[in-house]
Every structure is written in structure tokens, then in C-alpha cells.
Chain A
């Protein structure tokens, strides 16, 4: 028998390596409808939903090497999560399924855990290093800060703020005030209704916005190296100010003779309808594409 075959046979006869020790979590604690809740978990996953009860429930499992689970606080302010020993890098992961009162105010801190939140009111502030973050449902306000995690917001709400370095940002739903910025990743925004204020900024990413503004609404989009593509209704009443130093404007939205050159090179402006809304778009090297969006 060849040595390799012997080795393979020997390996097949060995028992499987033991799974890392795990802690099963099944915990609950009373909480008011608008409790302030702080959640801490560095790795693994957090799946959070709301319910119409005055308590918090946490289920899941924690690898022993990820740290230990803790839970404490009062009905108004509580915190829980997975804590590793000071200065020790966690070697495992923790997967938590969490239920909180619908109006809870959440603060979630993570390094690389995958975060999936479905809210029904309340607010969430999420700070991570590289987590993939998804927020759905309905929320008063949501704030996400990450370095290289992708962020997807698919909720209806009043306000959202997103900051990433190289994580792509995708937004769906209807968020009345959106402020999103990346350094090198794309901002892809598809609003399903009229919104009040949209601020989009990136250095080398592209920006795509599909949506509509309320009267007096504001859209500001700015990128240094990326392209900007706006798909908006041709009937929108707005003052448009466009800047593209490198690549110019691709205009399919209004008649070409309506577009006037601005005071400086690379600037254009025009007005549509009553001109109440404001659209302000700037790119240094990319082009700006204006594409009509018709309601289905």
C-alpha cells in the first residue's frame, strides 16, 4: 500500500475533532416599551425583531472561546451581549436571536457580526467595524457606522444616517431624511415614495438615486471620482445645479436648450416646473446622467 493511501485510511479512521464548547442562551428580562437597550457582540450574528410585549428575549449559542453571555439592567435601561476577557481576541462566534419591545431604543456595538434587524418603530444606532448590516421594517431613526461592512436599509422611516469607508450602501423603502456617505463604495438609493431630504457623498464610488422629492425637498449628491445617475420624474418641480469637470452631462430628462451653462466651467443649471425643490449634483471626474423615471 502506498504511504499516501495509508495516511488517508488512518485519517478516515480518526474520530471527528470535537466541536468547540458552546453555551446555550435562553434568557429574558422585563423591559419598558421604550427601553434603552445596549447590545454588545463582536462576532457571529444578531437577528433582532420586535414584539408587542414588555420584555426582552435572547436565545442562541455562544462559543466558549467567543466569551461569556451577560444580561442585566432595569426595565428602562438594560444591556446584554457577549463579552470576552479583557485584551483577549475572541476565537469563536456567537449567534443571537433577540426580541425587543417595538418602541425600544437600541445601541448595537459589534466588530464583525452579521446584523439583521426588523424593526417596528423605535430607533437603532449601530457601530461596527466590518459587519454586514441590514435594517428592515419601520423605524423612527437609524444610524449605522462601519468601515468595510455593506449596509442595506430597507425600511420606512423618518431619518437614517450611514457612514462607511469601503462598504456599499443600498437603500430601499421610504426614508424622509437620508444622509449617507462612503469613501470608496457605491451609494445605491431607490426610494419608493416622495422624500424630504437626501444627502449622498462619496470620494471614488458611484451614486445612483432613483426616487422623487416632496415640494421643497432637497437632493444633494457629490462624488469625486464616480459617476452620478439620477432617475427622477420629469414632472418634478426643481432648481437643478449640476457640476461635472471631467465628463459632462448625459441629459435625457429635459430639453437640451433648457440647460444653461453656469458661471464656471463644468457647471450647468436649469429649472423644471415650479422650481420649489433643489437638486444639487457635483462630480469631479465622473459624468452625471439624468434619466426620466416614470411611475409604473
Chain B
């Protein structure tokens, strides 16, 4: 059995789904090959680390079962209460949004300050960082532009995006050059920009 054979079977080996004969062959190879032992350990660590991450949603196996409740008519027409947040809830929502925006600006500024390399991924992240910081600064400049409920939605979703970016970044640091991880991280950066742009449009709409 070669290292390549073992590499192809590592997933099943960890899952315990290999036939006894195949498992014995992998075991025999592992006793002689330090590189494969290291690959096995690395993979186990990665799986443990990722399983330890909080699962934000635990859907039923059949996702369609949950459609109807989600399509229930919304609350009676909500009139956006905008302008200066005078209520405690409004002030709290504005504060939460500012914190979320502060996070977005801080994360992107710190990324902009890192030494740039000439890879496409790094250049793309720098562009996203610049765009995100500009948009977040515009929104932070006038948090009262948005309705209280809108501010809460945006703050919550910015938090989700920031957490996803951090998790993907951590995974990428452990596995540099992983193309799939790079794509996923850039997708989140793009979504953060889309959300900020939509928030600004919503603010203009509501005002």
C-alpha cells in the first residue's frame, strides 16, 4: 500500500467504515510511515476543531417540513420608526449596530495594515477590506438613518458574517492555500459588502 492509497482511505479510516482487511493494511502502513501518521493526526485535529465549532442551525433531515411556518404572514404592517432613536430600545439597537460596524471597520483596517503579498487572494481581500471599511464608515456616520428594527437585523447579520469570516480565516491559517476555503472566505467578504450596501439603500428609502 502506497502513501497515496492511504491518503484516499483516510476519511473512511477515521470514520471506521473500512473493511477489516483494508483497515489492517492502513494500520500496517501507518506503523512504518511517519508522513501518513502526521497526515492522519492533522486530519483528526481538523475534524475535531471543526466539529467543536458552534452549529448555528440544526435543521431536520427533511428541510421542506419547515417551510409553512416560515411563510406565515408577518406582523401587521410595521411602520419603520426612524430618525433619532429616542427610546431605550432604539438607542440599544443603534449601539449594537455601531459595535457591529466597529467590528467590521476594525477587522478590515487591521487586514489592510498587514503586509501585502502578490497573490490574487490577498489582493482580493485587500480590495474587499477597503470597500467594507468605506461602507461601514458611511453607515456608522449616521446610524439614526435606519429604523430600529432594521438596525437590529443588520447588526445581527453583520455579526454572523464576521464570525464566519473569522472561522474561515482560522481554518485557512491552518491550511494555507486551500482554494475552497479561500473561495468561501471571499464569498463572505462579498456578502458583507452586499449587506452594507443594502443597508445604505434601505436607509435612503426609509428617510
Contacts and interface: CB of A to CB of B under 8 A. Distances in A.
A229 B82 CA distance: 40
Interface in A110-146: 111-114, 127, 129-130, 132, 145
B164 interface: yes
B57 A147 contact: no
B77 A224 contact: no
Contact of B57 (A114, A188, A205, A264): A205
A111 B164 contact: no
Interface string B193-207: 011001101100111
Contact of B153 (A165, A181, A201, A260): A165
Interface string A223-243: 011110100000000000001
Given A93-B77, A227-B59, A264-B180, A163 B161 contact: no
A229 B62 CA distance: 8
Nearest to B153: A148
Given A89-B80, A170-B71, A130 B51 contact: no
A163 B198 CA distance: 9
Contact of A208 (B56, B64, B150): B64
Given A165-B157, A203-B188, A264 B175 contact: yes
Interface in B153-186: 153-154, 156-157, 160-161, 164, 167-168, 171, 175, 178-181, 183-184
A186 B69 CA distance: 13
The A contact surface, by secondary structure, is loop
Given A150-B70, A284-B171, A181 B191 contact: yes
A208 to B, nearest CB: 4
B63 A188 contact: yes
Nearest to B66: A186
A191 to B, nearest CB: 13
A204 B63 contact: no
Contacts of B154: 147, 165
A222 interface: yes
Contact of B161 (A183, A206, A264): A183
A190 B63 CA distance: 11
Chain B: interface size category: 35 or more
A272 to B, nearest CB: 20
A50 B194 CA distance: 32
B19 to A, nearest CB: 12
A260 B51 contact: no
A243 B180 contact: yes
Given A147-B198, A183-B157, A261-B7, A203 B191 contact: yes
A246 interface: yes
Contact of B53 (A43, A170, A260, A285): A285
Nearest to B203: A129
B67 A170 contact: yes
Contacts of B78: 43, 112, 130
A225 B171 CA distance: 14
A166 B51 contact: no
Interface string A179-194: 0010110101010000
12 contacts: A91-B79, A112-B78, A148-B150, A163-B194, A184-B56, A186-B66, A201-B191, A204-B56, A206-B59, A246-B53, A248-B15, A284-B168
Interface of A: 42-45, 87, 89-91, 93, 109, 111-114, 127, 129-130, 132, 145, 147-150, 152, 163, 165-166, 168, 170, 181, 183-184, 186, 188, 190, 201, 203-206, 208, 210, 222, 224-227, 229, 243, 245-248, 260-261, 264-267, 282, 284-286, 289
Given A148-B149, A203-B160, A248-B11, 12 more contacts: A42-B79, A129-B205, A165-B153, A201-B191, A204-B160, A206-B63, A208-B63, A222-B184, A227-B63, A266-B46, A267-B180, A284-B50
